[in-house]
Each structure stands twice: as structure tokens, then as C-alpha cells.
């Protein structure tokens, strides 16, 4: 921009100055029906290859289960998608437009990727409702947060989620007092509040009773379609109950991928994973 | 916009403000209206001592805001207090005018003594009260902003952050000790005469300063309380308890830390500015790393993450200190250390924790 242009722009009263317009990241572009691309991703820790030339594509609206023995790199893969870990090589894209490797954790979360951690982490000294309030999709800049009040609509959303995760009775209890299973539910509730386009769910049913497991299965299945869901789970019954497509990870790369029966009968899979048990 | 909800469910805070109000009304009456020979007379010495401790209480609230709610253990907060104090001290120096020992209308005595011919540029404007007040806020605020920007952006936290805050205050202390810095070196700034034209020796001036300190403490409390009970305050606690988790929800941890830290530094600066006219001196000793550590001890003893507990801790510890250092001077540091260890081991919520437990039990 030349000086004359700059001066001109000051005279245009019908337009806001350019520097005042907040920079908007490109929106999630699902035109090719793929929500997540991971291509040729590798990551080693002190020479140990936790992720090794991993290629993974998640379709929009898909519910994908990822299984694999301990240490296969499932959680590390999620760390890479959410910006916690930077891969050594490879590409990770969210839709067509968003290069996740150029974004940090809050940007990735704001773009629409929500995550439930393997070890449930909730804000222990805050109450159940406060945890949900913080997770809610909202303007998270400092000043808006200082002035924020719960609108009726937001309150309804919180109540709705409390019912879904069955924590209505405990809404004003500190999250630190919840049982392991309840913390899992609270984290799922926080995910729901965030309204992400892609949910990464790491071992959601650990510590849950059989009944709770069924409810989780129902919930995750109902979310898919509108959103895309990636579930990492060891519990094979659970996986069987929700799985459409299963990906088997082994030593940091994809060993097999397909329908549950297909994968179960794959000799390579039987050898490294299912065969053990 | 401002709702009163934040103070309604804060019983302890209402008590705290009530007591503060009572003190702010009673102390001036007992000092000015009750005759000096009456048993109820509150001496000007005691007024000034209490006023000084009220500024410490405000400093403690500032430290509690970042340590208690955000988990930033700043061991350099007294630096912001001292900077606010120096800004006020510079105004008070300029107020002396030609009444100094050397009678120079322009230059403070120490500059004449150093053979300086003219006022350094950074002293310009300090003859105006409004300018000094602006600096009381800006200098600590801007320093905290720059410091926080660098530290939080590179994700320095925990012990490392504590250490660099110590280094910051230590570096400032060494710098202010130097004569050529232009802040009076070793001796600091002192021999103040008056403020806004009112003599600092007058009882009435002392009372006004005292009431101003009480007011600043009350407002500082209310502002901090407003922050911690807002959603921003919830986010602070979330960051304190699980920093990386809050990033994955989408919180810009470094921005939240930066602004709360800066606000806290400004509060500390205001406290320092009220402290200096009451004690009559500011010198580099105020930057001493020990001061910042003692400050954390007040907060811990009073009760971390309670705000009013921090203020109560500051008052309690300092009254005990003034008593003990007179009675048994060599014991004081050991007593303080032992108290700190006991409190951190057995009373995570300090004395406020005991009172709450009693209240719940009764
Ligand atoms: N930050 C790290 N530093 C060093 N090694 C790591 C790190 N993160 C993961 N690893 C290693 O990478 C490998 C893959 O770990 P990861 O947690 O991804 O496995 P996983 O498939 O989630 O296993 P599990 O089923 O036990 O959760 C493991 O051997 C682990 O020790
Ligand atoms: Mg894992």
C-alpha cells in the first residue's frame, strides 16, 4: 500500500480501518468430504519412533475407532493433531484449508477440534457446572471473559448436557470429588459444550460400568454424522458395539484398516494384537 | 453492566469490608476528636503504622491474585510496590522545592551533592501530581507487561518463573543503589515536606493518607474480587489447576496470565505510592528479594486464594513483627520461617481456613 492509498483509506468513512478488523482464520472446508488428513507423519522421542510414516484420513461425519496395543502411538497421534506434540515430518490438515502444524493448541481448539484425554483431566477445584461453563463455545478473549454472563440459552445448553452426562445432581460439587467414571462423563460433557466438528476421544470407557459403557456407545454414535468422531479404545466389546471402520495402529503406523470383521480376520492383526488375547 | 452478585455470596469479604469501613471511620475520630490524654486516643504514630500496614495488605491482595488464583508464584512482587513508591517519592521530592539543604529550587539535594547541573529527563513532569499518579500506574504496569509478555509467551512457569522474578527485583535493587541512576542511590528519596501543599507533619494529612489507604484497599479488594468471581476468574483457576488442559479447550493461557499479572502489578504500585508518604522514605532496600518472599509468607499465613485472607495475613504478621522485633529481635526470622512451614504443611488455607472450618463446625 502506498502512502496515498493509506491516506485515502483514512478518508473513507464508510469503512472500518483494516487493522481494526480481527483476523479470521479460514473456516473449516469440507468440500472433499475429508475432515482430517495425516500424511507421512513421523515423530521420534530420543530415537524411538513413536509415530512412523502414519497416513490417516477421517471422513466428515465418520465414527472411526482406533485400536492397537499399548505404546502403538494412539495418544501420540492425538497429541500431534491437537498441537501438543510437533511431528518431525509429515502433513496434518483439518479440512482443506487449515494446516494444523502451523497452529497452537488454543487455535486448534477454537478451529473445532475437541479432545478427551486418556487420563481424565477436569478442573478439580471448580464445580461441575463451572467446568462446563468454561468449556462452552464462546469468545475467550480476556475482556469478554471478564464481562461474560450466562445467557438463558447457554444455561439451557448446560442443563441439557448435564442431563446427557447424568451429573445433574452433582452440578455444584467440585469436580475433584467425582469418581473416575463420573470424571470421564464430565469430560465428555465438556466436549459437548465445545461443539467441536471433530472429537478425539481417548479411552472413554475406562472405569465405567457396563451400563455406562452402553450409554457412551449410544452417545458417540448419535454424535457422528453431524460431527466426526475418532475413538481410541482397548475394550473390544465396546469397539465392536460402535465400530463402522476400524484402524489398527502398530508401532506408529497403520497396520490394517476396514470393517471390524475384516480387520479381525487380518492375519497381521491377529499376530500382533488380537492373537495375544 | 456491573452486577452486585460478585459480592453477595462473599460473606468473608463483606466482613472484611465492614471492618475496614469501621476502622476508616473510628480511627480518625479517635485520633482527631478524642483528647490526647484519654485512654481512647489513637496516636498519630499508630495511625501511620496502621496506614502503612493497610498498604501492605493491598500488596498482599495483589500477590494473592496471581499466586492464589493463577498459580504464578511471583517472588518479585515487592518490585512493583517499590516502583510505585519511587514514582510517588519523585513527586514528593519535587514538592520540597527550594526548602532543601542546598536550597536549589529545581534539583533535589542528592543531585546538587553529585554536582549535577540539570534535572535528568526522566524526572520531568514529576512536579505535577497527576503525572506522578499516572506513572504510579504506568511504570509497574508496563514493566509487568513486558516481563510477562516475554515470560508467559515462552511458557516459563513454576520454579523458573519464581527465580526470574527474584532476579528481576534483585537487578532493580542493584540498579537503584547506583548514584548515577538518578534515584538517590543508597539513601533513596527522603526528607519529604508536603503533598499537594499539605504538610506531611500535620495530623490531618496523616489521617487523609490513612483513609486513602483504607479506601484503596477496599477498592483493590472489590476489583480483585470482581475478577476472581467472573468467568475470567474461573479460567484463572482452571489454568492454575491444569494449564495444558485449558489450552486444549481454547484458552490463550499467556494472554490471561499477562493481563492479570499486569493488573496485579498496578495494584502493587498503588500500594507502594500510598506507603511512601506515610513512612517518609523510599530506598533500594524495598527491592530486596527478601521483601517479596516475606510477602508470600503473609499470603500463605492469611490464606491463599481468599484475597481478604491475604490482607489479614499481612496485618497479622506485621503487627506480630513489630511486637516481636522489639521484644525478641533475634527470634523474628526464625518465628516467621517456622510459621510459614507449619502453615504450608498443615493449613493450606491459612488462618482463614481455620476460621471457615470453625464456622462450618459450629
Ligand atoms: N513425550 C514423550 N516422551 C518420550 N516418549 C514418549 C512421549 N510420549 C509418548 N512416548 C512414547 O511413545 C510411545 C507411544 O505412546 P502412546 O502414549 O502414544 O501409546 P498409546 O498407543 O496411546 O498406548 P496406550 O494404549 O498405553 O495408551 C510409547 O512408547 C511412549 O513411551
Ligand atoms: Mg494412549
Taking the mean position of all CA atoms in its chain, how far away is CA B293?
A: 13
Give me A103's grid cell.
497452529
Lowest mean pLDDT among A6-15, A144-153, B49-58, B107-116: A6-15
Radius of gyration of chain B (CA): 21
Highest mean pLDDT among A21-35, A61-75, B265-279: B265-279
Q: Give the residue numbers spanning the domain of B99.
A: 4-361
Binding-site residues on chain B for chain A (CB distance < 8 A): 1, 3, 227, 230-232, 234-235, 237-238, 241-242, 244-253, 255-256, 259
So what's the pLDDT on residue A28?
A: 83
So what's the pLDDT on residue B237?
A: 97
pLDDT above 90: residue B333: no
**Are the C-beta atoms of A241 and A217 separated by less than 8 Å?**
yes
pLDDT in tens, A200-221: 999 998 888 888 889 899 989 9
pLDDT band at A277 (very low <50, low <70, confident <90, very high): very low
Separation between Cα atoms, residue B8 and residue A270, nearest integer Å? 63
pLDDT above 80: residue B352: yes
Interface probe with B: pick from A85, A143, A146, most Cβ of B within 10 Å: A146
Q: Which residue has the higher pLDDT, B186 or A26?
A: B186
**Are the C-beta atoms of A113 and B249 separated by less than 8 Å?**
no
pLDDT above 80: residue B250: yes
Ligand of minimum distance to the alpha carbon of A50? 1
Mean per-residue pLDDT over chain B, rounded: 93
The pair phi, psi for residue B60, each rounded to 5°, is -65, -40
Residue A48 makes CB contacts below 8 A (sequence gap 6+) with none
Q: Which residues partner with A38 through β-bridges?
A: A56, A92
Separation between Cα atoms, residue A89 and residue A179, nearest integer Å? 40
How many percent of chain A have pLDDT more than 90? 65
So what's the pLDDT on residue A2?
A: 60
- Helix, strand or coil, per DSSP, at residue A231: strand
Taking the mean position of all CA atoms in its chain, how far away is CA B150?
A: 23
Counted residue by residue, chain B has a size of 362
Question: Into how many domains does chain B fold?
Answer: 1
Instruction: Please give the C-alpha separations between residue A174 and each of A16, A123, A127, B52, B230, in angstroms, as whole numbers.
Output: 45, 8, 4, 38, 17
Of B247, B249, B252, the CB nearest to A134: B249
The pair phi, psi for residue A239, each rounded to 5°, is -60, -45
Residue B343 makes CB contacts below 8 A (sequence gap 6+) with B300, B301, B350
So what's the pLDDT on residue B355?
A: 84
Work out the average pLDDT over A22-51.
Answer: 87
How many percent of chain B have pLDDT more than 90? 80
pLDDT above 90: residue A243: no
pLDDT in tens, B293-318: 999 999 999 999 999 999 999 999 99
pLDDT in tens, B12-28: 899 999 999 999 999 99
CB pair distance less than 8 Å for A109 and B250: yes
Centre a 10 Å sphere on the Cβ of residue B298 and count the other Cβ atoms it contains. Answer: 28
pLDDT in tens, A40-95: 999 999 999 999 999 999 999 999 999 999 999 999 999 999 999 999 999 999 99
Of A134, A140, A148, the CB nearest to B252: A140
pLDDT above 60: residue A275: no
State if pTM tops 0.95.
no
Lowest mean pLDDT among A85-94, A229-238, B75-84: A229-238
**Are the C-beta atoms of A64 and A113 separated by less than 8 Å?**
no
Q: Which residue has the higher pLDDT, B257 or A260?
A: B257
Tell me which of A75, A87, A120, A253 to substitute to probe ligand 1's pocket, judged by most ligand atoms within 8 Å of the beta carbon: A75
From the list B199, B281, B210, the residue with the least C-alpha distance to B46 is B210
pLDDT above 80: residue B202: yes
Which residues from A are below 8 Å from B3, CB to CB? Answer: 149
So what's the pLDDT on residue B1?
A: 41
B61-81 in b/e burial notation, b at 16+ Cβ within 10 A?
Answer: bbbbbbbbbbbbbbbbbbbbb
Mean per-residue pLDDT over chain A, rounded: 89
Distance in Å, alpha carbon of A118 to nearest chain B alpha carbon: 12
Centre a 10 Å sphere on the Cβ of residue A31 and count the other Cβ atoms it contains. Answer: 9
Residue in B with minimal Cα distance to A190: B249
**Are the C-beta atoms of A152 and A237 separated by less than 8 Å?**
no
Q: Is the ipTM of this complex over 0.95?
A: no
Q: Strand runs (DSSP E) across chain A, as ranges?
A: 34-45, 48-59, 63-67, 89-94, 98-99, 113-116, 198-202, 228-232, 245-250, 253-258
Give me A134's grid cell.
468454561
Q: Is the domain A3-274 a CATH 1.50.10.10 member? A: no
pLDDT above 70: residue A196: yes
CB pair distance less than 8 Å for B246 and A134: yes
How many percent of chain A have pLDDT more than 70? 89
The pair phi, psi for residue A110, each rounded to 5°, is -65, -30
How many percent of chain B have pLDDT more than 70? 98
Beta strands A48-59 and B194-195 are unpaired
So what's the pLDDT on residue A98?
A: 93
Helices B129-153, B158-177: crossing angle, 10 deg rounding: 140
pLDDT band at A226 (very low <50, low <70, confident <90, very high): confident
Separation between Cα atoms, residue B66 and residue B240, nearest integer Å? 10
Which residues from B are below 8 Å from A149, CB to CB? Answer: 3
Instruction: Read off the DSSP letter of residue A137.
Output: S
Residue closest by Cα to atom 16 of ligand 1: A73
Separation between Cα atoms, residue B344 and residue B330, nearest integer Å? 23
Interface probe with B: pick from A113, A116, A145, most Cβ of B within 10 Å: A145
Of B227, B248, B252, the CB nearest to A115: B248
Amino acid at each position: 500500500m502506498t502512502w496515498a492509498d493509506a491516506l485515502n483509506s483514512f478518508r473513507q468513512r464508510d469503512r472500518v480501518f483494516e487493522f481494526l478488523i480481527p483476523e479470521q482464520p479460514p473456516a473449516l472446508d469440507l468440500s472433499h468430504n475429508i475432515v482430517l488428513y495425516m500424511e507421512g507423519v513421523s515423530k521420534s522421542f530420543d530415537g524411538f519412533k513413536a509415530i512412523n510414516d502414519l497416513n490417516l484420513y477421517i471422513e466428515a461425519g465418520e465414527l472411526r475407532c482406533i485400536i492397537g496395543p499399548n505404546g502403538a502411538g494412539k495418544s501420540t497421534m492425538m497429541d500431534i493433531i491437537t498441537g501438543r506434540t510437533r511431528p518431525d515430518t509429515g502433513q496434518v490438515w483439518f479440512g482443506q484449508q487449515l494446516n494444523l502444524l502451523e497452529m497452537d493448541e488454543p487455535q486448534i481448539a477454537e478451529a473445532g477440534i475437541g479432545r478427551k484425554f486418556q487420563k481424565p483431566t477436569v478442573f478439580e477445584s471448580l464445580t461441575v457446572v463451572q467446568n462446563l461453563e468454561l468449556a462452552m463455545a464462546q469468545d475467550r478473549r480476556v475482556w469478554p471473559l471478564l464481562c461474560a454472563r450466562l445467557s438463558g440459552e447457554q444455561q439451557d445448553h448446560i442443563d441439557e448436557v448435564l442431563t446427557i452426562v447424568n451429573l445433574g445432581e452433582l452440578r455444584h460439587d467440585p469436580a475433584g470429588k467425582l469418581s473416575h467414571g463420573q470424571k470421564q462423563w464430565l469430560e465428555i460433557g465438556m466436549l459437548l459444550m465445545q461443539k467441536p466438528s471433530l472429537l478425539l476421544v481417548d479411552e472413554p470407557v475406562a472405569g465405567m460400568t457396563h451400563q455406562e459403557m452402553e450409554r457412551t456407545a449410544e452417545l458417540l454414535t448419535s454424535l457422528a454424522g453431524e460431527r466426526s468422531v475418532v475413538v481410541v479404545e482397548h475394550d473390544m466389546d465396546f469397539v465392536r458395539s460402535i465400530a463402522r471402520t476400524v484402524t489398527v495402529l502398530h508401532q506408529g503406523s497403520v497396520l490394517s484398516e476396514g470393517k471390524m470383521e475384516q480387520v479381525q480376520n487380518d492375519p497381521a492383526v491377529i499376530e500382533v494384537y488380537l492373537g495375544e488375547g | 453492566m456491573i452486577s452486585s452478585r460478585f459480592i453477595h455470596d462473599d460473606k468473608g469479604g463483606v466482613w472484611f469490608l465492614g471492618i475496614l469501613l469501621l476502622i476508616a471511620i473510628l480511627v480518625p475520630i479517635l485520633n482527631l476528636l478524642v483528647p490526647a490524654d484519654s485512654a481512647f486516643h489513637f496516636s498519630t504514630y499508630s495511625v501511620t503504622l496502621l496506614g502503612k500496614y493497610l498498604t501492605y495488605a493491598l500488596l498482599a491482595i495483589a500477590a494473592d491474585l496471581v499466586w492464589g488464583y493463577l498459580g504464578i508464584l511471583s517472588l518479585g512482587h515487592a518490585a512493583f510496590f517499590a516502583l510505585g513508591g519511587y514514582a510517588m517519592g519523585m513527586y514528593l521530592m519535587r514538592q520540597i522545592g527550594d526548602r532543601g539543604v542546598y536550597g536549589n529550587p529545581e534539583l533535589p539535594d542528592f543531585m546538587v551533592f553529585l554536582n549535577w547541573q540539570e534535572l535528568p529527563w526522566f524526572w520531568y513532569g514529576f512536579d505535577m501530581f497527576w503525572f506522578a499518579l499516572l506513572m504510579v500506574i504506568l511504570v509497574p504496569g508496563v514493566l509487568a507487561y513486558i516481563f510477562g509478555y516475554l515470560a508467559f509467551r515462552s511458557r516459563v512457569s513454576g520454579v523458573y518463573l519464581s527465580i526470574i522474578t527474584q532476579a528481576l527485583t534483585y537487578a532493580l535493587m542493584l540498579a537503584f543503589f547506583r548514584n548515577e541512576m538518578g534515584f538517590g542511590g543508597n539513601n533513596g528519596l527522603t526528607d519529604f515536606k508536603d503533598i499537594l501543599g499539605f504538610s506531611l507533619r500535620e495530623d490531618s494529612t496523616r489521617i487523609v493518607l490513612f483513609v486513602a489507604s483504607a479506601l484503596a484497599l477496599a477498592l483493590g479488594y472489590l476489583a480483585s474480587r470482581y475478577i476472581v468471581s467472573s468467568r475470567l476468574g474461573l479460567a484463572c483457576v482452571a489454568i492454575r489447576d491444569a494449564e495444558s488442559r485449558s489450552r486444549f479447550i481454547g484458552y490463550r493461557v499467556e494472554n490471561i496470565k499477562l493481563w492479570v499479572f499486569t493488573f496485579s502489578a498496578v495494584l502493587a504500585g498503588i500500594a507502594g505510592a500510598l506507603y511512601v508518604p506515610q513512612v517518609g522514605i523510599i530506598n533500594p532496600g524495598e527491592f530486596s528479594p527478601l521483601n517479596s518472599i516475606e510477602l508470600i509468607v503473609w499470603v500463605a499465613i492469611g490464606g491463599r486464594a481468599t484475597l481478604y485472607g491475604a490482607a489479614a495475613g499481612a496485618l497479622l504478621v506485621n503487627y506480630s513483627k513489630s511486637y516481636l522485633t522489639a521484644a525478641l529481635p533475634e527470634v523474628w526470622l526464625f518465628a516467621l520461617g517456622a510459621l510459614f512451614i507449619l502453615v504450608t504443611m498443615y493449613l493450606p488455607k491459612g488462618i482463614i481456613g481455620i476460621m471457615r472450618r470453625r464456622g462450618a463446625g459450629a
